[in-house]
Homo-oligomer: A and B are copies of this chain.
């Protein structure tokens, strides 16, 4: 590709004030594309709106798995192989908690624990999740604006066929995502975070990251005013399904359970319906879309992969939207 994408950051020029990108994201895959976007866009051009539907309380601490993955990934601190937590991590507190008889199924590292402690204490002191997140991002020298989708809790609940209704983390981690799914529901009806709708309305491009449509992106889309704000914006989505398989997590099985058809990029992105103006899928998965579809290398390892895909997405959007 010789065409230089104008949305991407040209270091010889000042950032273009008119180019604003909002990325909607969940955990690992989305965080990686976000990391790529952060690498190729000027810092103030990028805002991440992050799912908080997986949030839960454990040992009395407020845990926000997707926010943490996003912060750690943008800070270059995440454990890449494991897909959760920090790269340099120890588990001394967890060992000690188990010794006291505390629940030990959710693995909290010692450095990671500071994130949950800081957040829990900040919330108890009356600061909002948005404020606490901004302060932690500053501490981690993350320059991308990271917005929790909302400040109040909104739990994603999984109605299973044989095990009743489970909170998402209980289903995913404790039950290892084995119970078959009948339905995904969102509890409560909180307002979107204070800057979420405004950021979307001002965006020149919205990127839906390669995250789980049902449990990572739908919780954002279901917030009051978000779909309305998106309907006027150019939206491009990157498929979380690659040649019929999820790169990570239980999405392939969820598509089979919820849609009654095999997992595919089309099935995953089809879930967004009219919202999309373009899609980026794994090369070979382009067929059958009603909007422009780019085939690319969507499975991201390190920084180079992430920035290359980010450039492909921005470039394709620039040409087609």
Contacts and interface: CB of A to CB of B under 8 A. Distances in A.
A72 to B, nearest CB: 11
Nearest to A119: B100
A139 B93 contact: no
Contact of A93 (B99, B111, B135, B136): B111
Interface residues of A, number: 32
B95 A111 contact: yes
A97 B117 contact: yes
A75 to B, nearest CB: 10
Given A95-B111, A110-B110, A113-B93, A60 B121 contact: yes
A121 B90 contact: no
A134 to B, nearest CB: 11
Given A59-B121, A60-B124, A124-B60, A114 B100 contact: yes
24 contacts: A59-B118, A60-B117, A60-B120, A60-B121, A61-B117, A92-B111, A93-B113, A94-B114, A95-B111, A95-B114, A96-B110, A97-B117, A99-B139, A99-B140, A100-B114, A100-B115, A100-B136, A100-B139, A101-B135, A101-B138, A102-B114, A102-B121, A110-B110, A110-B113
Given A60-B121, A96-B111, A100-B118, 5 more contacts: A59-B118, A97-B117, A100-B115, A102-B114, A102-B121
Interface of A: 59-61, 89-90, 92-97, 99-102, 109-115, 117-118, 120-121, 124, 135-136, 138-140
